[in-house]
Every structure is written in C-alpha cells, then in structure tokens.
C-alpha cells in the first residue's frame, strides 16, 4: 500500500479548514521590483478550535499566465502574537513599505461561510479549490 503524500508545492489546498476552524488573516507582500511578474510573498493563517493559529507562507508569481507557488512553509501552531511578530519581522527584513503590503483581516466574520462569501465578492477565492 503506497500512501505517498503529495509534495506541498503540488498540493493545491494550502490550508485545509476543519469543522469549527476559521480563516484568520491573509498578508500580501508585493515588492515594487517584482510587480511585472506579479510576484508576492503571502502568509495565510487560520484559527484552530484551540485558539492557536496555523500558518502557511509561500512565494507566488505568474509565469506565462500560469500561477506558480514556491518555498512553501507550514507552521502548525503559532499564537496570534507570534504571527504579528513574524509579519513585522518580514516587513523589516524586506524593507516593505506600506504601499507594498496588504493585510486582509477575516477574523471579523463569525463563520467560514461568511468568510468564503466575502472572499468571493472581493475576487480573492478561486472557487475550484473550495470544497
């Protein structure tokens, strides 16, 4: 029996939401130098039922019209304070200016359904990946 897991860079589902979990915040770092290739460094976080967060970060760019993800990192348990420290550290180390950074706060929605609906309205969700 071969239960080979797909490599994270080929896993189309970067964050899997389980019952009772919600999305927390998405962070987008868009350096001016990489805008032509639509380069972004993204941090996505979900809130687990125990109050801790799970975080995924990765590089995103479009090559020949095809979205590419690379350097995928998963952190299964991080506190909200630690996540804020990580985001601030990335901003400092990359000299990210306010116009190169976006924070999308999804914690204001009480259900995952409300969050998904908001993401669809903002054209931020590829619905083929929502199950």
**Alpha-carbon distances of 122 from 28, 35, 73, 126, 127, rounded to whole Å:** 15, 20, 26, 11, 12
Q: Which residue has the higher pLDDT, 126 or 57?
A: 57
Could you tell me the sign of the dihedral formed by the alpha carbons of 14, 103, 32, 117, in that order? positive
Q: Are 31 and 96 in contact (CB under 8 A)?
A: yes
Q: pLDDT digits over 3-58, tens only? A: 444 444 455 567 889 999 999 999 999 988 777 778 899 999 999 999 999 999 99
Report percent pLDDT > 90 for the chain.
Answer: 56
- For the residues 59-84, what does the mean pLDDT come to? 92
Domain ranges of the chain: 15-129
- Tell me the whole-structure pTM to 2 decimals: 0.83
User: What does the pLDDT read at residue 29?
Assistant: 94
Q: How far, in Å, CA of 111 to CA of 116, rounded?
A: 9
């Amino acid at each position: 029996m071969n239960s080979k897991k797909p490599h994270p860079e080929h896993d189309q589902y970067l964050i899997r939401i389980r019952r009772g979990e919600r999305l927390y915040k998405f962070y987008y770092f868009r350096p001016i130098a990489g805008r032509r290739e639509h380069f972004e460094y993204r941090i996505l976080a979900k809130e687990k039922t125990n109050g801790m967060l799970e975080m995924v970060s990765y590089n995103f760019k479009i090559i020949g019209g095809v979205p590419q993800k690379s350097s995928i990192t998963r952190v299964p348990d991080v506190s909200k304070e630690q996540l804020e420290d990580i985001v601030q550290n990335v901003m400092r180390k990359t000299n990210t200016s306010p116009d190169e950074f976006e924070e999308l706060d999804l914690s204001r929605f009480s259900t995952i359904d409300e969050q998904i609906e908001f993401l669809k309205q903002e054209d931020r969700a590829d619905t083929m990946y929502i199950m």
